[in-house]
Amino acid sequence: MYLHLLIALIVAATTWVVGWWGVAVVALVAGFIMRARGGRAWAVALGAIEGWALLLIVDSLGGRSQELLRLLSGTINIPGPALIAATLLFPALIGWSGAALAAELGRLPFFTHRN
């Protein structure tokens, strides 16, 4: 039930340490571990969203989120809310696909025989 929250914390910590591709690593590992349950890909995706949302909240403690959104949307011509949505959708895609991929591959005979 709280799996996504656990994933969120792991995603946030991994992103903080190694960068954005940490999400892919977490998704692959989580998907593989939970391969018997289809990788819980949607939970991983949700966790990835929550993890990055948590980091965005940390960023916003600097107090200039609105200003940054204004600058960014003015610079790259994308509305601020769309930019936030893209920021949350991006780890979700990696999370879901990474977990699903790892789960499917993890269920191949090679891995199941080893288990």
Partner 1 sequence: MGVGHAQDGRVVSVIPSDARSLHFHVDQTSRFLAPLGMTGLRVLRLLAATVVFAASLYGGAHRFAPAPALGAFLDPAHGVWSLIRTADHAAASSAQIAHLGADVQIVYDDRAVPHIFATSEEDAYRAMGWVVARDRLFQMYLQTMAATGRLTELAGARALPLDREMRRLGLPRAAERALAAADTAAFMHNARAYAEGVNAYVREMPKSELPLEFRLTGTQPFEWTPLASFHLFGRMGWTLAYLSTETERSAAASRVGVRAAEALFPDAYPIQEPIQPNGQHAPRMDFQKLPPPGAPDTTSLLLASAVDAFLPSKLFAQKDADVSPQTFASNNWAVSPSRSANGHALLEGDPHLELNLPSIWYEVHLVVPGKLDVYGVTIPGAPGIVIGFNRDVAWTFTNTGTDVLDYYAEVVDNDAHPTKYQVDGAWRPLEQRIEKYAGSHGQALATDTLYFTHRGPMRRVRDRWLSMRWTVLEAGRELEAFYGASHAKSANELEAAMGQSYFAPAQNMLSADRGGHIAIRSTGHYPNRPGDGKGNVVRDGSLSASDWTGFLPLSAYPQSVDPAQGYLASANQQPIDPKFAQGWWGGNYDPWRALRINALLRADSAMTPAKMQAFQTDPGSERANLFVPYFVNAARRHSTDTSSKRGARLAEAERILAGWDRRYTKENTAAVLFEEAMRTLTSAVWDELSDDGRRVATPSSGVLLELLADPTSVWWDDRSTSAVENRDDILANALEAAVASVHARYGEPGSAKWRWSNVRNANINHLLRLNALSALNLPVQGGPGTLSPSVGIGTHGPSWRMVVEMGPDVHAWATYPGGQSGRPLSQHYTDRLPLWLRGELEPIRFPRTPAEIDAPHRSSVVTLTAAH
Q: Which of 41, 10, 44, 23 is nearest to 105 (CA)?
A: 41
49 is an interface residue for partner 1 by CB under 8 A: no
98 is an interface residue for partner 1 by CB under 8 A: yes
80 is an interface residue for partner 1 by CB under 8 A: no
111 is an interface residue for partner 1 by CB under 8 A: no
Length of the chain: 115
Burial profile 11-30: b = 16 or more Cβ within 10 angstroms, e = fewer: bbebbeeeeeebbbbbbbbb
Among 8, 43, 44, 94, contact with partner 1 (rule: CB under 8 A) = 94
Please list every residue from 16 through 35 that binds partner 1, using CB under 8 A. Answer: 16, 19-21, 24
CA 47 to chain centroid: 6
Among 4, 8, 35, 52, contact with partner 1 (rule: CB under 8 A) = 52
Give the Cα separation of 18 and 28 in Å (integer): 15
Binding site for partner 1 (CB under 8 A): 15-16, 19-21, 24, 41, 52, 55-56, 58-65, 67-68, 70-76, 86-87, 90, 93-94, 96-98, 100-101, 104-105, 107-109
